Amino acid sequence: MKNLPNLLPSTRREFLRFSAKGIGLLAFTHYAPSFLVSSARAQIPAPGRDQPILVLVQLAGGNDGLNTVIPYADDHYHRLRPTLGIKEANVLKLDEHAGFNPACAGLHRLAQDGKLAILQNVGYPNPDRSHFRSTDIWETGSASDQYLTTGFIGRYFDNSCAGAPANADPLGVHLTAEVPETFFAEKDHATFGLSDRGGRRQRQQNLALLEKILHRPAGDDENANAGYLRHTMMDALVTEQKVQRVIADYRAGAEYPHTPFAQELRNVASLIAGGFSTRVYFVSLGSFDTHVNQFDRQNKLLQTLGDGLAAFQKDLAAHRLEENVLAMTFSEFGRRPMENDGKGTDHGTSAPLFIMGSRVKGGLHGAAPNLNLARNQDLTYGIDFRQVYATVIDRWLQGNSTAVLGQKYAPLDFIA
Amino acid sequence: MKLDYSPEQAWQPLPAAAWDAAAARHLLRRAGWSASPDEVTRVLRDGLAPTLDRLFPRQPAAMPVPKSVADFRSEAADYRRKIRQAPREQRRDLKRDFQQQARDALGDLTLVWMQFSLHPDRAAYEKWVSFLGNVYVVSANKVRDPAMLYEHQALLRAGGTGPAPKLTKGVLRSPAMIQYLDLQQNRLGAPNENFGRELMELFTLGVGHYTENDVKQGSRAFTGYRQRDGAFEFAPRQHDGSAKTFLGHTGHFDGDQAIDVIYQQPAAGTRLPALMARFYLSDEPLPDPHLAALGDWWRATGFDLHQLCLRWFSSRLFFDPQFRGIAIKSPQQYYLGLLQDLGLDLAPLPRRVLPALRQMGQPLYTPPNVRGWVGGREWINSATLDARRALVGVLFTPLNENRLNADEQRALARARAAGVTGFSFTDDRFKKLLPLTDAEVTTALCDFLLPVHVAPDYRAAITQFLAQGDAARRLARIRNAAITLLGSPEYQLC
């Protein structure tokens, strides 16, 4: 075997330099127009570090909004929630009507610091109570009777980020096993999955072997498609290496809880601080599908959520990155106002949504839900989630919400 | 592309001396999904001609209608009437339920087809049906009726062994096509040219072999062909029966006669073979004289599709070594080939199967546009490659049955009762490799799974990997080597 470096080149530039020296990979240059194009572009600076970044936080399974932001002054709440209801004395108050579940200390602190906007009663017309279909609706930004094959973030990429240099960092990074539907786009954009829950060591071993397989001189008889595949995979692995290195070298400016969710946010922070030009990160926390014995389960999840987000925000502040980042939660639906016989709640409709960042207008936005409801009746939304998207796209990501969402939605006032 | 033989020689049968294991693997991977050792042994024993008779039967098996598709078909007309008559508020809910039912049935159709085509005896013909579906394209994005999509595919399956003009005439009456290419709106005095144009541009002739005027004139012949509730209807009063001059012929053509006129064009003989070359052989087009030679012969058979398949897949040109191991697998082939290579069954779980296809870039029945999937390098980018590697990981991970919902548990129980059980790969399947040396295991994995002869250092890397660590973990190392190999660039080829 020839004397090859053991590891992949750690940057695109190094990769090119290796190649220029004729080591290893470049036996396939005969096919490589896209590669040469991107090397010509390597001189173009990556999109600036100061571009706004969005972190999407999915609360998978349908978070019960009424036991997250508690309308403690509303008698109907206590009527509908005889066992699950939270007593006024325990509520972390936001104003004289509403306050947080005591498990949301992290979120409450963020709100007190003016870094958390609480959008009340967010939903959409003719809500769908299927987990999968409603998740589709939220991720694509469609109407409830409309089926879209692209996500609202994907369309934002199509619309505002096309033509990014081919050697730039991925536009979207997801910390989930599957590519989130919201990243699906018409055009090709680099996205990257960073999922290391479980099997990490094995994955590392396999990666090392894959690298060896990739990183060898191409035979003279290697066909053009084989070269193309090798190059594309190499490219993906170079990104993976860079990501792993940035994460390993990161010194966080805050103590993160030892939950997988918080560790994922730590990884997001490390990539942001590492200067990745990625515009959107996608993190998921679940499962909020609390049909029985909701109380402890949801409390634990809410605490994980609040403590994780609080640590993330503190970390960003320590790295002076607060101004660049906005985080937004969403869940496919809220849950039914009336608790069920199993001390749980069934699939419902609207719920509060949180926007976190140093540039938000903190506190409650929109009207509290009307709880004067009959048995098993559902909430009617006050804010359409596409209004929230439109505001984030136009006022934060500097995109064009009409193009992304297909129509104009009345903006909201939660960004300072 | 450089071919060492004349256009006439190209389509002669492969000389018997050249029929060997490598040729057999090439045939099995290109005509079907994979080349498992058992199948290779079988076709070598049977010989090329009998194998092709088996893979491309004159009377191919019909695929059963998935139950949800049948239910949809029997309820669709009723549903549509209900929606029309319902008050506005209710209409939306009804429509949504209806659409959801359609989507669920479409998912079932995908699963049932994959299951059906996984069988080695059916793989080649069902791949041919896929090819025809990528020529006579319809898409679930516009045709939201899984029963129509099923019928369209059934039409291609039944007609895929007969004369091409007859199949095209069938497609003219396919409710899915009528809806997809707006034939419904093609009326006397107000022609909609969508069908007429795509028929010539994509299905039969190709750009440059007809004029704008041919599109205008020809489209008049296709007026009055429509569907109602998924059934074909001819509306004589919407049909333009007056004289047209079309592709150099003048007459009172109806749709069938117009199609006959199209098949008199020389380009009709080469269009489908050119598309076959792209689908089955190479991204690079075949030389015109070679295509023309096949086209002339094919025309003389009356455009017989069955004979075309037999000739194509037994030809010297098809087996030319320069075409071996150079094609990029489609996601559909990657998925089905993986299952065959690993000896697995398809899990009857839409949530596991459908997202993988979508993430690899090929949600079945939903091609991006009327041109169909372009294929080749278009399949590959860092996200789709990652999705392919993720699928390998999924197939090596036991099902987490606690996370299945009630429908899925039922589907799984039904499948198990029917003896379909192997949904993920377990280490013990590698046990027969344990007695082998590391180098022998490497050879077994590479020769069995990879379509290309890999260089010595590729093999050396795997052998070294297998040699690391303690003996107790050897099975796990073999598994990990296989996982890596199945995700490697070489396995993406066929």
Give the per-residue pLDDT at B80.
87
Q: Taking CB atoms and an 8 Å limit, are B455 and A205 in contact across chains?
A: no
Give the per-residue pLDDT at A20.
37
Q: Taking CB atoms and an 8 Å limit, are B383 and A145 in contact across chains?
A: no
Give yes or no for a contact between A336 and A345, defined as CB atoms under 8 angstroms apart: yes
Q: Taking CB atoms and an 8 Å limit, are A179 and B387 in contact across chains?
A: yes
**More confident: A194 or B254:** B254
- Closest B-chain CA to A230: B489
Answer whether residue A26 shows pLDDT above 50.
no
Answer whether residue A38 shows pLDDT above 90.
no
The rounded distance, in Å, linking the Cα atoms of B374 and A389 is 34
Work out the pLDDT band at A19, boundaries 50, 70, 90.
very low
Give the residue carrying structure tokens 């290419």.
B181
| Angle (CA) A82 A83 A84, round 5° | 105
Give the per-residue pLDDT at B155.
98
Say yes or no: A232 contacts chain B, CB-CB below 8 A.
yes
> What are the pLDDT digits (tens) for B230-264?
999 999 999 999 999 999 999 999 999 999 999 99
Give the per-residue pLDDT at B351.
87
Find chain B residues with C-beta within 8 A of A133's C-beta. 100
Q: Taking CB atoms and an 8 Å limit, are A213 and B327 in contact across chains?
A: no
> What are the pLDDT digits (tens) for A254-277?
999 999 999 999 999 999 999 999
Give the per-residue pLDDT at B46.
97
Q: Which of A354, A360, A284 is nearest to A322 (CA)?
A: A360
> What are the pLDDT digits (tens) for A51-92?
899 999 999 999 999 999 999 999 999 999 999 999 999 999
Work out the pLDDT band at A25, boundaries 50, 70, 90.
very low
> What are the pLDDT digits (tens) for A91-105?
999 999 999 999 999
- Name which of A126-140, A152-166, B108-122, B262-276 the model is least confident about: A152-166
Give the per-residue pLDDT at A47.
43
With pLDDT > 70 as the criterion, what percentage of chain A qualifies? 83
DSSP assignment letter at B204: I
> What are the pLDDT digits (tens) for B348-401?
999 889 989 988 889 999 998 898 998 998 898 777 888 898 899 889 988 888
- Closest B-chain CA to A194: B386
Give the per-residue pLDDT at A12.
45
Say yes or no: B283 contacts chain A, CB-CB below 8 A.
yes
Query: pTM of the prediction?
Result: 0.77
Average pLDDT over residues B469-482: 90
Return the structure tokens found at A310: 């609080």
- Side chain identity at residue A324, one-letter code: N
The rounded distance, in Å, linking the Cα atoms of B121 and A327 is 53
Ranges A240-244, B29-33, B193-197, B210-214, most confident: B29-33
Answer whether residue A37 shows pLDDT above 70.
no
Q: Taking CB atoms and an 8 Å limit, are A225 and B465 in contact across chains?
A: no
Q: Taking CB atoms and an 8 Å limit, are A178 and B359 in contact across chains?
A: yes
With a CB cutoff of 8 Å and minimum separation 6, the contacts of B290 are B3, B7, B10, B317
Q: Give which of B457, B473, B490 to mutate to test A binding, by max A Cβ within 10 Å.
A: B457
Answer whether residue A372 shows pLDDT above 50.
yes
Average pLDDT over residues B289-312: 98
**More confident: A376 or B303:** B303
Distance from CA of B183 to the nearest CA of A (A): 23
Say yes or no: A225 contacts chain B, CB-CB below 8 A.
yes
List, in sequence order, the alpha helices (H) in A168-293: 200-214, 224-249, 260-273
Say yes or no: B12 contacts chain A, CB-CB below 8 A.
no
Buried b (16+ CB within 10 A) or exposed e, B13-50: ebeeeebeebbbbbbbbbbbbbbbeebbeebbeeebee
- Closest B-chain CA to A6: B461
Average pLDDT over residues A29-55: 48
> What are the pLDDT digits (tens) for A339-370?
998 899 999 999 999 999 999 999 999 999 99
> What are the pLDDT digits (tens) for B63-93?
999 999 999 999 988 888 899 899 988 888 8
Q: Which of A363, A298, A368, A347 is nearest to A86 (CA)?
A: A298
Answer whether residue A41 shows pLDDT above 90.
no
Give the per-residue pLDDT at A233.
87
Give the per-residue pLDDT at A200.
52
The rounded distance, in Å, linking the Cα atoms of A212 and A224 is 20
Q: Exposed/middle/buried for B75, CB within 10 Å: 0-12, 13-18, 19+?
A: middle
- What mean pLDDT value characterizes chain A? 85
- Closest A-chain CA to B458: A213
Average pLDDT over residues A208-215: 84
Work out the pLDDT band at A218, boundaries 50, 70, 90.
low
Give the per-residue pLDDT at B265.
97
> What are the pLDDT digits (tens) for A388-412?
999 999 999 999 999 999 999 999 9
- What mean pLDDT value characterizes chain B? 94
Answer whether residue A42 shows pLDDT above 50.
no
Q: Which of A127, A145, A165, A135 is nearest to A47 (CA)?
A: A165
The rounded distance, in Å, linking the Cα atoms of B78 and B100 is 16
SS3 A114: coil
Q: Give which of A213, A214, A228, A240 to mutate to test B binding, by max B Cβ within 10 Å.
A: A213
Give yes or no for a contact between A283 and A312, defined as CB atoms under 8 angstroms apart: no
Find chain B residues with C-beta within 8 A of A202's C-beta. 476, 480
Say yes or no: A32 contacts chain B, CB-CB below 8 A.
no
Answer whether residue A371 shows pLDDT above 90.
yes
Work out the pLDDT band at B490, boundaries 50, 70, 90.
very high
- Closest A-chain CA to B101: A133
> For residues B113, B115, B119 and B120, what is the CA-based torsion angle, rounded to 10 degrees?
70
> What are the pLDDT digits (tens) for A220-267?
667 889 888 988 888 778 887 788 889 999 999 999 999 999 999 999
Question: Looking at the partner chain, which of B283, B390, B481 has a beta carbon nearest the beta carbon of A209?
Answer: B481
Give the per-residue pLDDT at A195.
64
Answer whether residue A39 shows pLDDT above 50.
no
